[in-house]
Structures are given as structure tokens and as C-alpha cells.
Structure 1
Amino acid sequence: MKLSDGFDARRLRPRGPGNWRWRLAAALSALLASFGVLLAMAGAATLLGRPPALGPLNDSTGAAIVLFLFGLLFLWIGVLAWRLCRRWSRRRSGLSMSPHLMKKRD
């Protein structure tokens, strides 16, 4: 199919305002997930018999279990928020195309 000289595909889907808010939220949620990984690793290190990584904060086994569970919770919440932010930042406004015609990116 031959395109005419005056055709501009960028006019079909006008660019809206930038999505810097969603990028910032995705970065903060990635930081939360990485903090969760670090907490879980510190709790697991204490549970496996290594010296406490956080000093007197996780000396006992109970404190190490709580630290490990909070780390997993922060990891789960961070990954969930990161996925949600990416989904909202990729949402397009403009042409309404059928979802099965779009490329699968997520």
C-alpha cells in the first residue's frame, strides 16, 4: 500500500503530557522492593547461623523471623506497585484499538 506524501502517522495519536509521575512512582517501588530483598537477606543470614547483620536488631531467632517476613512483605508490595505503575504508564490515550491487535509488551 502506497502512502501519500502528506501522511503523518504522529497525528493519529497525539502525545499527551509526560508520564514522569509514574516513572517516579515506579522508581520508588523498585527501591522498596530492593529494601525488602536486603531485609529478607539479613533475616535469613541470622536464621542460617551467621552473625547478626543489623547488630542488636536481630539477635534472637524471633526477631530474625520477623525481619525476614517484613522483607518478603516489602518485596511483594514493591513488585506489585512497580507492575501497577508500569501498566498505568503504558496506558495509551488516543486511538481506541482492540487489545488483541496491540503488541504484547507486559
Structure 2
Amino acid sequence: MKHSDGFDARRLRPRTTGNWRLRLGAGVAALFATFGVLLSMAGIATFLGRPASLGPLNESPAAASIVVISGLLLLSFGVMLWRRCRRRLRRTSDLSMAPHLMKKRD
């Protein structure tokens, strides 16, 4: 016998928590990557002989190299954090599969 009155399939699935933390983390990671690119560009501009864009912070070549290295580190950290957040956002909580078995979309 078929009882379709009052049946709701959404009750059978577990409730998913909001993923606002992962979205916020991805946004912060994108900001880190953007600031890393800007710092690297400012340091490279000093190497190319353009006026110092950060004032006295990168007037010498040694200080400019520190700015470039810190910009590249910030860029790589931002990209890694963004990819991790995006991977967890796309992961479904219904199945427990290994990450290397998922589709490579990121």
C-alpha cells in the first residue's frame, strides 16, 4: 500500500550545516593572494628601476627582494588556502570518499 500523504523526502537526509565559514575562508584566501601579487609587483618594480611604490620600505635592492619573497609566500599561501576551502565546499557530506577519488575540478 502506498502512503504519499505527508511524506517529505527531505526529512530522511541529514541536515547540513551552513558553510559560511568556508566561504569566508575562501574570500580571505583570495585577499591574501591579491595582496601577495601586489607586493610582488611592487618589489619587482623596484628592481626594474621604477620609483619605490612602498616608500622607504623597498628603496634598496635587498629590501625589494624581501618584499618580492614575502609577496610570493603570501600568494602561495593564499592559493593553497583558497583551493582547500573550495575543495571542502564542493565535497558532499553524504559520502565518505577519499579526496583523490573525487573529480578534479579545482
Contact 1:45 1:51 in 2 (8 A): yes
1:35 to partner: Cα distance: 0.4
**1:102 Cα shift?**
6.8
Q: CA deviation at 1:17?
A: 1.2
Question: What amino acid does structure 1 have at the position aligned with 2:87?
Answer: R
Q: For residue 77 of structure 1, what is the amino acid of its counterpart?
A: F
CA distance in 2, matches of 1:76, 1:24: 18
Q: What residue is the counterpart of 1:17 in the other structure?
A: 17
Q: Is the 8 A contact 1:40 1:69 kept in 2?
A: yes
2:98 and 2:80 mapped to 1: Cα distance? 26
Measured on the aligned residues, the alpha-carbon RMSD in Å equals: 2.8
The alignment-based identity, stated in percent, is 65
1:53 aligns with 2:53: yes
Cα 1:16/1:51, change in 2 over 3 Å: same
Pair 1:94–1:25, CA change in 2 (3 A): same
- Is the 1:12–1:95 Cα contact (8 Å) retained in structure 2? no
* Aligned position for 2:73: 73
Name the structure 1 match of 2:30.
30
1:30 is paired with a residue of what secondary structure? helix
Across the two proteins, how many residue pairs are aligned to each other? 101
Matching residue of 1:83: 83
Q: Please, which runs of 5 or more residues in structure 2 have no aligned partner?
A: none
Given the superposition, is the C-alpha separation of residues 82 and 61 from structure 1 closer, same or farther in structure 2, using an over 3 Å criterion?
same
1:16-50 per-residue CA deviation (whole Å, 9 max, x = no partner) reads 11110000000001100000000000000000000
- Per the normalisation by structure 1, the TM-score is 0.79
Between 1:59-68 and 1:89-98, the stretch displaced more is 89-98
2:74 maps to amino acid: F
